[in-house]
């Protein structure tokens, strides 16, 4: 098997099939809880990169479209093509300038055109073919434009004290790996991956929103564990009582933990050499 997955890779399934099915009640709300925790950070970074009036943007794996909408309504970009393999949440939130496409980003030619901003958040970590997708997304950036990719970094591990939360997170990452092929271990390699894709002035940052009981982020993890519960149990790392205990811990005053971080990496497409 190749480093970027392929035949025989763990997780023969796809996002939205065994886990995170969009037709299962509450999936849009789950994505929105995550968005509430991370959108301000994402939008601030995009603005700092100069995203604004006149920009043609592509938002890949756009989910419920919160970033696409804020690009249009707050940053004043000219247009956003929002792509998702299941576009039901996007079509429910149509606004002027938003062009919704239902497509699979792993398919060649999934979208045509060139964009000044190409953005994907919490998508590539679920794709075993992430290397190929990074190259495809880089090819969609127009000269002088920017590719901005965000994914999760796992901050639970041997160096953090074991709690019900860390146990559940370990089972979740393993369960998602076994079912979807989700892998966050490569995410810290983003700067090098963007450089290898031909982008310049590459940089990255990590943000870790506080895990406060009752916050959208806590709701997001509790919902995520609920939806991935069968995959978590199948790892053998947790039983049902351990998942219940982790949900209780997340909502309690005892909760003292670091959430997963969001690593955002960006790189610029060189201007084409003038003749």
Contact residues toward ligand SAM (CB under 6 A) are 15-16, 31, 34-35, 61-63, 66, 83-86, 104-106, 121-123, 126-127
- Closest CB 107 distance from ligand SAM, rounded Å: 8
- Closest CB 111 distance from ligand SAM, rounded Å: 10
Phi and psi torsions of 95, nearest 5°: -140, 160
Number of H helices, E strands in the chain: 9, 7
- Closest CB 125 distance from ligand SAM, rounded Å: 9
Residue closest to ligand SAM (Cβ)? 63
Q: Rank residues 33 and 164 by Cβ distance to ligand SAM and give the closer one.
A: 33
Secondary structure (DSSP) of 125-191: GG-TTHHHHHHHHHHTEEEEEEEEEEEEE---STTS---HHHHHHHHHHHHHHHHT----TTGGGHH
For 54, the token pair is 């006149």
Q: Rank residues 152 and 193 by Cβ distance to ligand SAM and give the closer one.
A: 152
Q: Is residue 206 within a helix (H) or strand (E), and if so which, with residue range?
A: strand 200-207
Report whether 119 contacts 264 (CB < 8 A). no
Q: Rank residues 61 and 267 by Cβ distance to ligand SAM and give the closer one.
A: 61
Q: Rank residues 27 and 55 by Cβ distance to ligand SAM and give the closer one.
A: 27
- Closest CB 224 distance from ligand SAM, rounded Å: 9
Alpha-carbon span 22 to 24, nearest angstrom = 5
- Closest CB 71 distance from ligand SAM, rounded Å: 12
Q: Rank residues 70 and 269 by Cβ distance to ligand SAM and give the closer one.
A: 70
């Amino acid at each position: 098997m190749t480093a970027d997955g392929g035949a025989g890779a763990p997780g023969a399934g796809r996002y939205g099939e065994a886990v995170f099915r969009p037709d299962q009640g509450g999936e849009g709300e789950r994505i929105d809880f995550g968005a509430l925790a991370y959108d301000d950070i994402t939008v601030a970074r995009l603005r700092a990169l100069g995203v604004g009036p006149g920009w043609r943007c592509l938002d890949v794996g756009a989910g419920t479209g919160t970033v696409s909408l804020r690009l249009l309504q707050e940053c004043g970009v000219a247009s956003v093509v929002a792509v998702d393999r299941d576009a039901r949440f996007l079509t429910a939130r149509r606004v002027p300038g938003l062009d919704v496409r239902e497509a699979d980003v792993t398919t060649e030619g999934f979208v045509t055109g060139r964009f000044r901003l190409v953005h994907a958040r919490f998508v590539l970590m679920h794709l075993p073919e992430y290397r190929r997708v990074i190259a495809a997304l880089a090819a969609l950036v127009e000269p002088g434009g920017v590719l901005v990719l965000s994914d999760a970094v796992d901050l639970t591990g041997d160096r953090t004290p074991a709690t019900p939360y860390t146990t559940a997170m370990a089972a979740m990452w393993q369960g998602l790996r076994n079912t979807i092929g989700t892998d966050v271990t490569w995410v810290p390699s983003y700067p090098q991956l963007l450089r290898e894709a031909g982008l310049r002035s590459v940089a990255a940052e990590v943000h870790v929103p506080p895990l406060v009981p009752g916050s959208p982020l806590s709701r997001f993890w509790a919902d995520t564990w609920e939806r991935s519960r069968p995959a978590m149990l199948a790892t053998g790392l947790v039983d049902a009582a351990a998942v219940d205990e982790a949900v209780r811990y997340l909502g309690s005053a005892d909760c003292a933990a670091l959430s997963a971080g969001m690593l955002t990496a960006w790189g610029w497409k060189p201007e084409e050499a003038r003749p």
